[in-house]
Amino acid sequence: MSEYLGIFITLLTAYVLAGSLIAYLSRRYGVKSSKDYFVSSYRLGWFPTAMTYAATTYSAFMMVGLVGLTYSSGAGALGFELVYLLVTVVILASIGPDVWAMARERGWVSPSEMLSDLYDSRALGYLTVGVYLIAMIPYVSAQIIGAATIFEGIGLGYEAGVVVITLLILVWIVLAGMWSIATTDAYQGVWMLSAAALLVFLLTYYLLPASGTTLTQLTEALSVKGLLGLTDFWTPQTFLAYTLPWIFFAVTNPQVVVRLYVAKDRTSYKRSVLLFSIFGLAYTLAVVYVGLVVRGLTELNLFESVTKADLVTSKLLSGFNPTLSSFIYISIIAAAVSTANSIVLAVASSFVRDLIEKRRRLNVNISHASNSIVTLLTMVSSAIAFMRAGFVVDLSVLTSVLLLPLAPVTVVAWVAPHTIKGKPQRIAALTAVAVGFTMSFALAIILGPRKTFLTTYYGLPVSALVLITSTTVFLAGILASRRGKVKESRERVEETGSTSSTRDDIR
Amino acid sequence: MRLRSLKRHYLKLSIVVVLTFYLIPYTLLKNPLGLELLFFWVGVTFAWLVLTNALLIGDLM
């Protein structure tokens, strides 16, 4: 066994043991009901609330995909990632406290249950569960693939990676549901941020001086190539295609929606938004810095040119001390696991609440059902990752686009819940989600998921068209029902008026 | 009532801030000589995060 492999296995074992101990200890908070299991009965403190939000949101994409995207496309990648953070914090600060309060008033446990309750429509809940299933499973598989690829690159084998990651996802959920996830997310979040900081430190104080260059020279090299501005890659359409699904991420993705419920009190909720803001900004800046520095080194012929963007991080780490690079590799695994288990738990909560508990299937043991569904979802995602099933894995690129039709329906329900009670509103919501989802899924089948993501029609990317279509369908339905109501009440007034005037005539 | 009004103004301003995130880079900062675009995005985000959290923690929203 090589020295590198030995160090990686030692650090991995330490990461797994410490995480498992944390998850096991979290059992003392007690899991007796689905509310305990899926949302910790709204008892999380500010630190785990913030860290589980951050670790769930920021996946393996950051250290692999975003570093590569910055390397290949320049500064535009920073705008793409920061606009997500900006809008998410605005949503968390403005609408989030109301959602937090509504969740405990109405006893929400799953995100689909929230929609079915607000619209008083079981059908909308079922439809949302279906959308989650098709959109989120590929995303979980992509996380497993990302982490397993690290195992493969280090020489431990892809299959072994899939098995280890699957077991980690499963065990850290089953031990105590949201409790074990939130506490291990806090631990993994600290690991992720420390690794990013370490990488920035290594680049600035080790690699740059060792390469005989300075940040000023790098900046000049990047500027000459136009990489500090908007390169040809970042056309307005591409920027919109990338940013639009992410702007609505906090509203549409079940794993983050459910995290709006969990803080134990209003103060904890507010503090968690503050900590998430700091985490998000620091992590984003670190990751983009890495991508730009490596590209600058390439421009100065001090680092090899990497044609496949996703390989930039691994090429960079291959030149580092084995302990340090293993520490950073494990932070990528942590990012993948923390995102994947949160998604599995959120999707499972929708199954359990909407399809079992709300239908009053009382003969079913909820605890067993929850664990069985978690196991089933994890196994399906793992099997897809194992086979590297092309279309399904590619579908993960479109996850946020497939979820976009939920955005108008959710935003209106959060901002003006009193306006959506009624059959026409229910029908409008159902139609908007069904039409938007069918449109994006059909395009994914016809064009392929990757092509769909960047295809434009009439100068607009598919994500914008999906959002416009579902918003138009939804608002048209609501306006039509309002007009109907106004017309009805006018007719009633006229009728009453004519009846009274007839009475007057008779008199 | 006053708080609601403040929240409404905050949301309107947030939409303007997000729009500048798109418009300024594609109009004024498309081909910067140095780090202007990066500083613009980081500066706007940092300022808005500070303001947002100050309003939130200070119970003004």
The Cα–Cα gap between A186 and A47 comes to 7
Q: Mind telling me how many Å the CA of A468 is from chain B's nearest CA?
A: 17
- Pick from A443, A451, A354: which is nearest to A404 by CA? A443
pLDDT digits (tens, 9 = 90+) for A50-80: 999 999 999 999 999 999 999 999 999 999 9
Q: Which two tokens stand for residue A120?
A: 């008083």
At CB < 8 Å, which residues of chain B contact A? 7, 10-11, 14, 17-18, 21-22, 25-26, 29-38, 41-42, 44-46, 48-49, 52-53, 55-57, 61
The Cα–Cα gap between A285 and A55 comes to 16
The Cα–Cα gap between A26 and A20 comes to 10
What is the C-alpha end-to-end distance of chain A, expressed in Å? 107
pLDDT at A498: 59
Please name the residue of chain B whose CA is at the shortest distance from the CA of residue A89: B49
- Pick from A143, A134, A144: which is nearest to A402 by CA? A134
A503: pLDDT strictly greater than 70: no
Write the residue in A226, A230, A285 that is nearest to B42 by C-beta: A285
Element (H, E) at A460: strand A460-461
pLDDT at A316: 96
The Cα–Cα gap between A20 and A14 comes to 10
The Cα–Cα gap between B57 and A106 comes to 25
Contact residues, chain B, for A226 at CB < 8 Å: 31
Q: DSSP secondary-structure letter at A461?
A: E
For tokens 């039709």, name the residue. Answer: A405
Please, which pLDDT band fits residue A1 given cuts at 50, 70 and 90?
Answer: low
Q: How many other CB atoms sit within 10 Å of the CB of residue A240?
A: 18
Q: What is the mean pLDDT of residues B8-25?
A: 96
Q: Which two tokens stand for residue A309?
A: 């963007």
Residues 233-292, chain A: which have Cβ within 8 Å of B? Answer: 236, 239-240, 243, 247, 270-271, 273-274, 277, 281, 285
Quote the mean pLDDT of chain A. Answer: 93
The Cα–Cα gap between A470 and A428 comes to 9
Contact residues, chain A, for B11 at CB < 8 Å: 90, 94
The Cα–Cα gap between A326 and A8 comes to 5
pLDDT at A500: 54
pLDDT digits (tens, 9 = 90+) for A382-439: 999 999 877 777 777 889 999 999 999 999 999 999 888 888 999 999 999 999 999 9
A97 CB within 8 Å of a chain B CB: yes
Residues 6+ apart with CB under 8 A from A307: none
Please name the residue of chain A whose CA is at the shortest distance from the CA of residue B29: A229
What residues form DSSP beta bridges with A457? Answer: A460
Please tell me the total count of domains within chain B. 1
Q: In which domain, by residue range, is B7 found? A: 2-57
Q: Which two tokens stand for residue B53?
A: 């959290």
Q: Which two tokens stand for residue A343?
A: 């998604």
Please, which pLDDT band fits residue A144 given cuts at 50, 70 and 90?
Answer: very high
Q: Per the CB < 8 Å rule, is B35 touching A228?
A: yes
- In order of A205, A224, A302, the CA distances from A208 in angstroms are 6, 19, 9
Q: Mind telling me how many Å the CA of B23 is from chain A's nearest CA?
A: 10
Contact between A89 and B52 (Cβ < 8 Å): yes
- Pick from A423, A420, A396, A424: which is nearest to A408 by CA? A420
Quick one: what percent of chain A has pLDDT higher than 70?
95
3-state secondary structure of A348: helix
Q: Per the CB < 8 Å rule, is A229 touching B22?
A: no
- In order of A336, A339, A352, the CA distances from A111 in angstroms are 22, 17, 12
Write the residue in B7, B41, B49 that is nearest to A89 by C-beta: B49
pLDDT at A493: 73
Element (H, E) at A456: strand A456-457
A506: pLDDT strictly greater than 50: no
What is the Cα A181 distance to its own chain's centre? 15
The Cα–Cα gap between A9 and A156 comes to 9
The Cα–Cα gap between B44 and A22 comes to 38
Contact between A465 and A456 (Cβ < 8 Å): no
Q: What is the mean pLDDT of residues A335-346?
A: 97
Please, which pLDDT band fits residue A358 given cuts at 50, 70 and 90?
Answer: confident
The Cα–Cα gap between A349 and A341 comes to 12
A223 CB within 8 Å of a chain B CB: yes
- Pick from A347, A341, A489, A465: which is nearest to A401 by CA? A465
Q: Which of A46, A90, A266 to mutate: most B Cβ within 10 Å?
A: A90
Which amino acid, residue A383?
A: A
A115: pLDDT strictly greater than 80: yes
Please name the residue of chain A whose CA is at the shortest distance from the CA of residue B35: A228
For tokens 């969990």, name the residue. Answer: A262
Write the residue in B10, B32, B49 that is nearest to A277 by C-beta: B49
CB pairs under 8 A between A and B: 93
Mind giving me the DSSP string for chain B? -HHHHHHHHHHHHHHHHHHHHHHHHHHTSSS-SSSHHHHHHHHHHHHHHHHHHHHHHTT--
Q: Which class would CATH give A29-394? A: mainly alpha
Query: Lowest-pLDDT range, A236-245, A330-339, A431-440, A498-507?
Result: A498-507
Q: Per the CB < 8 Å rule, is A273 touching B53?
A: yes
Q: Is A307 exposed, middle or buried (0-12, 13-18, 19+ CB in 10 A)?
A: exposed
Contact between A217 and A62 (Cβ < 8 Å): no
Contact between A337 and A343 (Cβ < 8 Å): no
Q: Per the CB < 8 Å rule, is A274 touching B31?
A: no
pLDDT at A365: 81
Q: Per the CB < 8 Å rule, is B10 touching A94?
A: yes
Interface predicted TM-score of the whole assembly (ipTM), two decimals: 0.96
Q: Which two tokens stand for residue A459?
A: 């100068």
Q: How many other CB atoms sit within 10 Å of the CB of residue A90?
A: 23
Contact between A397 and A453 (Cβ < 8 Å): yes
Longest dimension (CA), chain A: 107
Write the residue in B26, B35, B48 that is nearest to A86 by C-beta: B48
A482: pLDDT strictly greater than 50: yes
Write the residue in B11, B32, B52 that is nearest to A229 by C-beta: B32
Query: Which tops the pLDDT comparison, A497 or A308?
Result: A308
pLDDT at A397: 82
Please, which pLDDT band fits residue B2 given cuts at 50, 70 and 90?
Answer: low
Query: Lowest-pLDDT range, A187-201, A326-340, A369-383, A391-405?
Result: A391-405
For tokens 């995130």, name the residue. Answer: B21
Q: What is the mean pLDDT of residues B15-35?
A: 94
Q: Which of B9, B50, B56 to mutate: most A Cβ within 10 Å?
A: B56
Q: Per the CB < 8 Å rule, is A281 touching B44?
A: no
- In order of A14, A422, A433, A481, B25, the CA distances from A428 in angstroms are 52, 10, 9, 9, 37
Which amino acid, residue A472?
A: T
Domain boundary assignment for chain A:
29-394
Query: Lowest-pLDDT range, A108-117, A190-199, A380-389, B39-48?
Result: A380-389
pLDDT at A372: 94
